[in-house]
Amino acid sequence: MKATDIYFLILPGAVLMDLAGVGEPFRFAKRFGAEFRLHFIGPKALPKTFLGLTLQGVEDLPQSLPSDAIIFAPCVALTPDFPRPEAKQAAAWLAETVQSDHILCTVCTGAFLAAMSGLLDGRQCTTHYMYTERLAQDYPRLNVVENRIFVQDGNVYSSAGVTAGVDLALHLISERAGPLVAREVAKFLVIYMRRTGNDPQFSPWLAHRNHIHPRIHAVQDLIIRDPCAEWTVAELAERIHTSPRNLTRLFKTHAGIPPLTYLRKVRTAGAKELMTNSSLSMERVAEMAGFTSAEQMRRAWRKFEQTPPAGRRQASRTDPEIAVNRERGTYEQSLV
């Protein structure tokens, strides 16, 4: 496997969560056989992060990059004096250095740095939902997309916030090292499920959690950690030391839906991920998502998702491997 060089562009005011969020998945991927070389570069030595810590080991901006390199522009603090000279220097370096055989990735407000370079002109892109309007106003040549985890347009990827940066990193690991490595990294980092670029920033994994009741959050954590378990209301109620009736009442009050409806929504979201990113049969997808049968999964899908994911509909027409599986009787063309 050819090693991939990954460069993290670090400026003063860098947000450590965004830097670590995209950097650590690649570091852990090396434990599972992936070949990544990590580089930390910037226009200034010993940059002071937004948290106040000073970073060592940041190298000068290189004059050129190897082919097939990946460049990350993590989040920077949009202080009143933005862009500072370092940001302008970094944007000019991006404009001069990034070529068509490179991949440029932005995380959160890192999109502003890429926009300054001109590399986002005419492209679809996104950023944290708090900054999409400002990005569109400051750089009208951009096609800013709202409520997306990450967006790919050519050789440029842009992602929302820190957790979306993790999703983007896992996506790139899957492309470069395979989905099994990405899955192992996600498991090692205790990430419940990889989201795709087409998922909204307010994904099914976060829905119905805009409340502060600790015991209902505990039940939701149990379900998300193991959606395939044969959960009953009685079992969930026992875990938080209450009665099934009280759990149902609390769940409806704070989450807005009954607990078993929440369970089916989580399983449906898992099935969507599997169908979008694999060629598994419907029976196998249903089993892995926690449904008792493909028919039960179909009923849940009609209720919560309406239509199969676009990736599966296209794959069913074009992927030769899936066509072979269909001939063998291990693939069903659609859910409905």
What is the CATH number for 140?
3.40.50.880
User: Is 184 within a domain?
Assistant: yes
Which of 82, 83, 9, 18 lies closest to 39, judged by CA? 9
What is the CATH number for 333?
1.10.10.60
User: Is 199 within a domain?
Assistant: no
* 326 vs 68: which has the higher pLDDT: 68
Rounded Cα gap, residues 285 and 273, in angstroms: 10
User: Is 195 within a domain?
Assistant: no
Other CB atoms within 10 Å distance of the CB of residue 24: 16
**Same-domain check for residues 265 and 306:** yes
Are the CB atoms for 195 and 157 separated by under 8 Å? no
User: Is 261 within a domain?
Assistant: yes
**Same-domain check for residues 325 and 213:** yes
Quick one: tokens of 320? 């030769």
Rounded Cα gap, residues 147 and 149, in angstroms: 7
Rounded Cα gap, residues 204 and 135, in angstroms: 26
User: pLDDT at residue 152 above 80?
Assistant: yes
Quick one: tokens of 63? 């004059």
Are the CB atoms for 8 and 23 separated by under 8 Å? yes
The structural domain count of the chain equals 2
**Same-domain check for residues 29 and 61:** yes
Query: What pLDDT does 88 receive?
Result: 95
Whole-number percent of the chain with pLDDT over 70: 85
Min mean pLDDT across 39-43, 50-54, 219-223, 303-307 is at 303-307
Query: What pLDDT does 321 receive?
Result: 33
The residue from 158, 188, 218 where one domain ends is: 188
Rounded Cα gap, residues 45 and 128, in angstroms: 28
**Same-domain check for residues 13 and 87:** yes
Determine the 3-state secondary structure of 214 from DSSP: helix
**Same-domain check for residues 329 and 184:** no
Which of 273, 325, 323, 322 lies closest to 301, judged by CA? 273
Average pLDDT on 186-198 reads 66
**Same-domain check for residues 268 and 313:** yes
* 228 vs 143: which has the higher pLDDT: 143
**Same-domain check for residues 169 and 212:** no
Average pLDDT on 325-329 reads 35
User: pLDDT at residue 4 above 60?
Assistant: yes
The residue from 153, 188, 223 where one domain ends is: 188
pLDDT tens for residues 10-55? Answer: 999 999 999 999 999 999 999 999 999 999 999 999 999 989 999 9
Min mean pLDDT across 10-19, 123-132, 280-289 is at 280-289
**Same-domain check for residues 173 and 241:** no
**Same-domain check for residues 75 and 127:** yes
**Same-domain check for residues 21 and 165:** yes
pLDDT band at 184 (very low <50, low <70, confident <90, very high): confident
The residue from 131, 154, 188 where one domain ends is: 188
Which structural domain range is residue 167 located in? 4-188
Average pLDDT, the chain: 84
DSSP string, 91-121: HHHHHHH--TTSEEEEETTHHHHHHHHTTTT
**Same-domain check for residues 180 and 214:** no
**Same-domain check for residues 294 and 232:** yes
User: pLDDT at residue 322 above 60?
Assistant: no
Read off the DSSP letter of residue 159.
E
User: Is 106 within a domain?
Assistant: yes
